[in-house]
């Protein structure tokens, strides 16, 4: 028997939208996957050759890039941030839509062309630096994993770069969305080496995801 295919699934906002998609592909998690009291991270499925791991979204890309998992589902924001050469993202799954945006105090103008330096709080330092470099501005990025919206109020940074869906959290913290850096959606990602080495299994699975997305469109 070949080693099982390990499929990395993100915790959080994408998971609820990903489960119906997995079902259309024919992958159903074992019952313990839905046990809210369970601390397990590895789960079986209805397919004996496929197992699921449930990890943080940022870790999905790392597990797949390093070959610990062969496939995964993750937002394009994470793919762009890490830019792993080992990742192949063949299918836009059409779920998890939001945007990565620059936000600042509601009464302040966005940084202009004349600005030379800005301090930004963000979970996406690599993406943020690249974007500001394209504007001719040097960005000092302060890495935060949450509570980004209070950084300007407490003087930690003048602006933030974070995911925005409705924008309600920004408004409630006296911030405004100033510039959209990128549109975000969830992608199917594959380890490039696994795609070649397991050519009898993984390419066919990728095609099933592509068909499931087309049927749902």
One domain, residues 83 and 103: no
pLDDT class of 216 with cuts at 50, 70, 90: confident
Task: Please state the rounded mean pLDDT for residues 132-146.
Answer: 93
One domain, residues 69 and 23: yes
One domain, residues 32 and 91: yes
pLDDT digits (tens, 9 = 90+) for 56-75: 999 999 999 999 999 999 99
**Higher pLDDT pick, 86 / 112:** 86
Q: What is the CATH number of the domain that holds 65?
A: 3.40.190.10
The DSSP string of 4-53 is PEEEEEESSTTHHHHHHHHHHHT--B-GGGG-TT----EE-BSSTTEEEE
Task: Please state the rounded mean pLDDT for residues 11-34.
Answer: 94
One domain, residues 210 and 103: no
Global pTM value = 0.92
pLDDT class of 1 with cuts at 50, 70, 90: low
Task: Please state the rounded mean pLDDT for residues 161-186.
Answer: 95
Q: Which domain holds residue 210?
A: 5-96+185-216
pLDDT class of 124 with cuts at 50, 70, 90: very high
pLDDT class of 3 with cuts at 50, 70, 90: confident
C-alpha 46: how far from its chain's center? 26
One domain, residues 90 and 10: yes
Element (H, E) at 111: none
One domain, residues 86 and 190: yes
Strand order across the beta sheet in which 42-43 lies: 42-43, 50-55, 5-10, 71-75, 186-191, 87-92
């Amino acid at each position: 028997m070949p080693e099982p295919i390990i499929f990395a699934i993100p915790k959080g906002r994408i998971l609820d939208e990903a489960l119906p998609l997995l079902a259309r592909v024919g992958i159903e998690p074992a019952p313990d996957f839905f046990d809210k009291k369970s601390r397990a991270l590895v789960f079986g499925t209805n397919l004996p050759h496929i197992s699921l791991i449930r990890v943080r979204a940022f870790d999905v890309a790392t597990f797949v890039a390093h070959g610990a998992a062969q496939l995964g589902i993750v937002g394009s924001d994470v793919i762009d941030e890490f830019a792993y050469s080992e990742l192949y993202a063949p299918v836009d799954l059409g779920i998890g839509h939001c945007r990565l945006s620059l936000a600042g105090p509601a009464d302040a103008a966005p940084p202009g062309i004349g600005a030379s330096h800005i301090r930004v709080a963000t979970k996406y330092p690599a993406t943020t630096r690249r974007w500001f470099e394209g504007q001719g501005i040097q960005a000092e990025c302060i890495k935060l994993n949450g509570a980004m919206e209070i950084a300007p109020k407490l003087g930690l940074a003048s602006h933030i770069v974070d995911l925005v869906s409705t924008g309600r959290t920004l408004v409630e913290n006296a911030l405004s969305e100033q510039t959209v850096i990128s549109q975000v959606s969830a992608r199917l990602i594959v380890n490039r080496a696994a795609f070649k080495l397991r050519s009898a299994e993984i390419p066919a699975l990728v095609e099933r995801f592509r068909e499931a997305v087309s049927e749902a469109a």
